[in-house]
Amino acid sequence: MSIQISYRFVIKKEKNKQGLFPIYLRAFLKGKKIETATPVTIPFRDWSLRKQRVKNNNKNHERYNMILDAIDKKSITLLVHNFINEEFPLTLVQFKDRLLSINHNSAGKSFTDYILNYLEENKVKFKVETWFGYKSQISKILKFKKEIYFSDINEKFINDYRQYMLNTLSNNENTASKSLRVLRTFVNISIRFGYIKDNPFQYTSIKKVDGKRDFLSIEELNKLDEYYLNDNFSKTIDKEILGYFLFACYTGLRYSDLKTFSINSIVNDSIHLRMHKTGYLVNIPLTKKAKIFIPKISSDNDFVFRVYCNKVTNRVLKNIGIKIGLNKKITCHVARHTFATVSISLGIPIEVVSKLLGHTSIRTTQVYAKIVDTVKIKEMQKWDNLKN
């Protein structure tokens, strides 16, 4: 038995109400043809007849071509499966019906398998940490439910998953909300490619509350400074990690920026850096304190610090904190919070602190001002402990 059906993508010459021209899959068999519409509609000039794909000058060409690639792949799979496993070749009507069934009857298909496959196929389009973060979120979802189909994704599923995170995993509200935002991203991908019809997040709000921001007081910061300068480290790694942590305390740099911070970023005693997370360009003057923690840089390495993975960094910081008697959980991001709160405590105007942190809105920085005010109130309550 031979595969007798052939097909190609074509652009129809009749435009729709929006003035765009639809792309169809046209199949041929023994001089006959049959057509099925794709979700792609474009200006006529944006179609490449030779490549049967949307030209690069169309702003949505990547997304549209991914849709066409997916239909192409399904068509080939359908024909090959028929060739290997079935006695008779498909008719044009059977081919169209089965293709439509594959495209639209997704209720019994795995939502998580589809997203994992999507992440693998589009890996180069994501930042490394974003890609791994998405993979981690899929693992988290699968702990909630081992098999998840497109038909499972509804408002009840979202609410049940949220309660699972809050009650079973003991996630705080912000952690749960972050996971729901990632789930919403996955759902939007599925909607875009026709696997989910109605958006289950349409009537679901994702909460965001001001989370607890741990930071070091000036006294605690001085304790860590003293420990670093005494140089009583049993392991080089401990000194390296505490060094870039303290540097971040005096500059406000994120962990992700420390990883890419190069000697070329230091110009005229200032840090000139485009922040990894936001793309915001910051200019941070280097204080005498900050310069203490810049290691001697070898000529064969442009990076200022040897930055270890987050897990190792936080473990070392925790052990150092215990060793010097800090009754506080220290993680890498505590450094940025410390810079913000100490800067405001020292009287640096909030507008300046906001610029140094690379915040796009001063409202983000105002959270730290509230923290400082809360600390002041708490400290002033010590007067009430004085005996008459």
Q: Which two tokens stand for residue 224?
A: 């860590």
Sign of the CA dihedral running 279, 281, 286, 289: negative
Residue 156, Cβ neighbours under 10 Å: how many? 10
User: What SS3 state is found at 33?
Assistant: strand
Are residue 239 and residue 164 in the same domain, yes or no? no
Regarding pTM above 0.85, the answer is no
Torsion angles phi and psi, residue 41, rounded to 5: -135, 130
Q: Is residue 203 part of a domain?
A: no
Are residue 225 and residue 170 in the same domain, yes or no? no
CATH number at residue 117: 1.10.150.130
Are residue 25 and residue 97 in the same domain, yes or no? yes
Q: What is the model's pLDDT at position 94?
A: 72
Are residue 55 and residue 165 in the same domain, yes or no? no
Sign of the CA dihedral running 240, 241, 246, 251: positive
Q: Is residue 37 part of a domain?
A: yes
Q: Which two tokens stand for residue 381?
A: 């309550």
* Maximum average pLDDT range among 79-83, 221-225, 338-342: 221-225
Are residue 86 and residue 152 in the same domain, yes or no? no
Q: Is residue 46 part of a domain?
A: yes
Cβ partners under 8 Å of residue 52, min gap 6: 8, 9, 10, 68
Higher pLDDT, 246 or 3: 246
Are residue 118 and residue 244 in the same domain, yes or no? no
Residue of 234, 341, 221 whose CA lies nearest to 293: 221
Q: What is the model's pLDDT at position 101?
A: 53
Contact between 40 and 22 (Cβ < 8 Å): yes
Are residue 245 and residue 378 in the same domain, yes or no? yes
Q: Is residue 76 part of a domain?
A: yes
- 381 burial (CB, 10 Å; 0-12 / 13-18 / 19+) is exposed
Q: Is residue 278 part of a domain?
A: yes
Provide the pairing of β-strand 270-274 with 281-285.
antiparallel
Q: Which two tokens stand for residue 124?
A: 């180069």
Which string of DSSP letters, residue by residue, matches 331-388? -TTHHHHHHHHHHHHTT--HHHHHHHHT-SSHHHHHHHHHHHHHHHHHHHGGGGGS--
Residue 302, Cβ neighbours under 10 Å: how many? 13
Q: Which two tokens stand for residue 306?
A: 């040897």
Residue 40, Cβ neighbours under 10 Å: how many? 23
H or E element in which residue 285 lies: strand 281-285
pLDDT band at 370 (very low <50, low <70, confident <90, very high): low
Number of compact structural domains in the chain: 3
Cβ partners under 8 Å of residue 40, min gap 6: 22, 23, 54, 64, 67, 68
Q: What is the model's pLDDT at position 206?
A: 84
Are residue 326 and residue 227 in the same domain, yes or no? yes
Q: What percent of the chain has pLDDT over 90?
A: 27
pLDDT exceeds 80 at position 104: no
Q: What is the model's pLDDT at position 1?
A: 47
Q: What is the model's pLDDT at position 15?
A: 86
List the domain range (segments joined by +) for residue 343: 218-383
In angstroms, how far is the first alpha carbon of the chain from the final one? 102
Are residue 318 and residue 268 in the same domain, yes or no? yes
Q: What is the model's pLDDT at position 269?
A: 87
Are residue 351 and residue 248 in the same domain, yes or no? yes
Q: Is residue 87 part of a domain?
A: yes
Q: What is the model's pLDDT at position 241?
A: 94
Q: Tell me: the pLDDT tens digits for 280-292?
A: 888 888 999 999 9
Task: Look over the chain and give the mean of its residue pLDDT values, rounded to a whole number.
Answer: 83
Q: CA 325 to CA 335: how far, in whole Å? A: 18
Residue type (1 letter), 333: H
Last residue of a domain, one of 50, 78, 104: 104
DSSP state of 72: H
Cβ partners under 8 Å of residue 34, min gap 6: 26, 27, 92, 93, 95, 96
Q: Is residue 298 part of a domain?
A: yes
Are residue 99 and residue 227 in the same domain, yes or no? no
Last residue of a domain, one of 43, 78, 104: 104
pLDDT exceeds 80 at position 84: no
Q: Is residue 91 part of a domain?
A: yes
Q: What is the model's pLDDT at position 385?
A: 63
CATH number at residue 368: 1.10.443.10
Are residue 256 and residue 362 in the same domain, yes or no? yes
Q: CA 156 to CA 355: how far, in whole Å? A: 42
| Maximum Cα–Cα distance across the chain | 105
Token pair 């060739």 is found at 83
Q: CA 365 to CA 360: how far, in whole Å? A: 9
